[in-house]
Amino acid sequence: MRRLTHKWNNKRNIMSEGVYGEQPTGRVTHGLLRLSTAMRSQAWEWAEGVGLTPTQGEILVLLMQRKGPMRLGEIARETALTAATTSDAVSTLEGKGLVEKRRALDDGRALAVRLTARGRTAAKKALQWPDFLAKAVGTLKDDEQAAFYRTLLKTIHQLESQQQIPAHRMCLSCSHFQPSKNPKKTPHHCLLLQINMADTDLRLDCSVYEEADIAMQKKGWKVFAQVTCLATSRGR
């Protein structure tokens, strides 16, 4: 009887491995969730060490990336937080002397948030917590990193289309972007900055981004998606 129970438990353990399904979609989802668990744990470990929360750290990094004041509504949109959570986090950061609120230059009734000198120092430190992930990605070959990044860009684009994450100021939806039909031979090109770009140079948050019209975005994504499919099948 004991042996039967043991067998049954083993069988149940083996079956529970595929809790997200046995198809590639389920495996990839499971893998991403494991990464998200590691990221959450590392983010909390870092944040607790400096007396912040991961959300507060994220807001500091966002303000540093944007290099200027941001309104509360913009911060909420970019971080996909509610207005109330954003307001609470910013008030806490203000209380710690890491950000300050000022009247927005273009609208005296609105408030804009900006980093203080101490906030900039804290933001630079906050940039370091994902280092553990960068080290792991750094062990992949160049081709693997490029394929990974292309796949991530496509997944991000899909989530943006479903309005599940905020839109990014990324090359692939920018009016200055010229996608290559064969990035291994001819790089992509930015008409504004006059630079050539390999897949891994494509930006996710560009300060001089200008949104392309929908037809142009669709065309750019179509070319990029076809190239991704070709690169993936060649890699098999």
Q: Which residues bind ligand SF4 (CB under 6 A)?
A: 171, 174, 176-177, 190, 192-193, 203, 206, 208-209
Closest CB 194 distance from ligand SF4, rounded Å: 9
Q: Is 128 exposed, middle or buried (0-12, 13-18, 19+ CB in 10 A)?
A: exposed
Residue 68: both structure tokens together: 């200027």
Closest CB 119 distance from ligand SF4, rounded Å: 26
Closest CB 67 distance from ligand SF4, rounded Å: 14
Task: Please say which residue, 103 or 219, places its beta carbon nearer to ligand SF4.
Answer: 219
Cβ count near 153 (within 10 Å): 21
Residue 194: both structure tokens together: 């006059």
Taking alpha carbons only, the member of 132, 133, 113 closest to residue 123 is 113
Task: Please say which residue, 72 or 165, places its beta carbon nearer to ligand SF4.
Answer: 165
Closest CB 209 distance from ligand SF4, rounded Å: 4
Task: Please say which residue, 122 or 206, places its beta carbon nearer to ligand SF4.
Answer: 206
Sheet holding 99-104, edge to edge: 70-71, 107-115, 99-104
Task: Please say which residue, 43 or 206, places its beta carbon nearer to ligand SF4.
Answer: 206
Distance CA(52)–CA(38), nearest Å, equals 18
